[in-house]
Amino acid sequence: MKKFRQPVVAVSYGAGPLWLLDEGYVGLDKHSKTAKNVADIFNKIYTSDA
């Protein structure tokens, strides 16, 4: 039986929900690096061989 690991994800809420919005403060909208990191987090955790 394959071992299953449950990942722990901690997401900073410092910018609030601004990174979900189309427009917001510069660097804190959905086009920011933070938003990209949150959107890509599951691709980093779960690989195709899981």
- The range of the structural domain enclosing residue 30 comes to 18-45
What is the residue-averaged pLDDT of the chain? 71
In a domain, 13, yes or no: no
Q: What pLDDT score does 11 carry?
A: 67
Cβ atoms of 7 and 50 closer than 8 Å: no
According to the model, what pLDDT value does residue 18 have? 64
Q: What domain count does the chain have?
A: 1
Looking at residue 50, its pLDDT comes to 52
Q: Tell me what pLDDT residue 32 has.
A: 77
**Overall pTM > 0.85:** no
39 found inside a domain: yes
Contact 23, 29 (CB under 8 A): yes
In a domain, 6, yes or no: no
Let me know if residue 27 belongs to a domain: yes
Contacts made by residues 4-10, CB under 8 angstroms, sequence distance 24+: 7/45, 7/46, 9/41, 9/45
Average pLDDT over residues 17-46: 73
Structural domain includes residue 9: no
> pLDDT-based confidence at 39, cuts 50/70/90?
confident
Domain membership flag for residue 50: no
Q: Return the closest-CA partner of residue 18 out of 28, 6, 10.
A: 28
22 within a domain of the structure (yes/no): yes
Contact 14, 1 (CB under 8 A): no
